[in-house]
Amino acid sequence: MTAQQVRLDAISNNLANVDTDGYKRDTAVHKAFAQMLLRRMNDDGQLRNPFGSSDLSPVVGKLGTGVETNELFTEFEQGSLKETQSDFDLALEGTGFIAVETPYGERYTRNGTFVLGKEGFLETKEGYKVLGENGPISVKENNFKVDKAGNIFVNRAYEDDPFRLVSRDENTWEGLERLDALKLVDFKKPRFLAKQGSSLYASTEESGEARLQGGPGAGPRAKVEQGFVEASNVNPVLEMVRMIEVNRAYEANQKTIQTHDGMLGKLINEVARV
């Protein structure tokens, strides 16, 4: 019943984040306790005969002792892309994460719903700065583009004056210069990343340290789509089916315990009468 409760908590969290951009579903994995080998205890010893001997306490069978939660891991399957037409929204196609700067150190996310901070830096909704390969990314609205490789280009004609606002129609996008590139990373074992809340992940000893994509020992760079966000990979229909399965399994276990408790109570009463 405890294992089913853990599974129900994971499913409930998945359903609660079905509309959270970049969310990856959690799955609870269970394993069985060691099985007990049953033998007839009153028939101990061996019976010898002209042809050899036979065991007087033959095996009756095996008895399961229940299950426990083995691990709760995250499935990093690709979510569908939703078009937003916002220059600040960035989606990743393929494996990898975008690095962000937090007060607790570098963290990683698949949620590309970014905003322009008060200081002119590209930030998450929580105010964490998005990192480029050379540090935090400072851009101006309607004056930057991100290609599919994650390179960030700006129009220097409007970049020098911080008080000069630019509209989409006004910007001719001539004379673009490369400003930086998104810091895209991957991990040796991403399934062991630790969720930190707010769509952020932290590296662990099991996952290994972050490796810059395209660098030595790392995979190729993920494809970046500007003006899109990645939806969660939660299928609400399947999660509802799993929730029904868990509820029925929990109720079945509950009835089994109640039946066992009732039978044990009757046995105690009979013994007390004798």
Residue type, 169: D
DSSP letter at 138?
B
* 62 to 38, 42, 65, 208, 252: CA distances (angstroms): 6, 18, 10, 41, 21
Q: Indicate left, alpha or beta for 233 from its phi (over 0: left) and psi (-120 to 50: alpha).
A: alpha
Distance separating the N- and C-terminal Cα atoms of the chain: 35
* 30 to 3, 103, 194, 229: CA distances (angstroms): 7, 35, 19, 33
Q: In which residue are the tokens 């630790």 written?
A: 194
- Residue 191 contacts residue 24 (beta carbons within 8 Å): no
Spatial distance between the Cα atoms of 24 and 110, rounded to a whole number of angstroms? 9
Dihedral pair phi/psi, residue 171, rounded to 5°: -75, 120
Q: In which residue are the tokens 């607790």 written?
A: 104
Residues with pLDDT less than 70, the chain: 34-48, 53-61, 63-65, 159-165, 167-168, 274
Q: What is the mean pLDDT of the chain?
A: 85
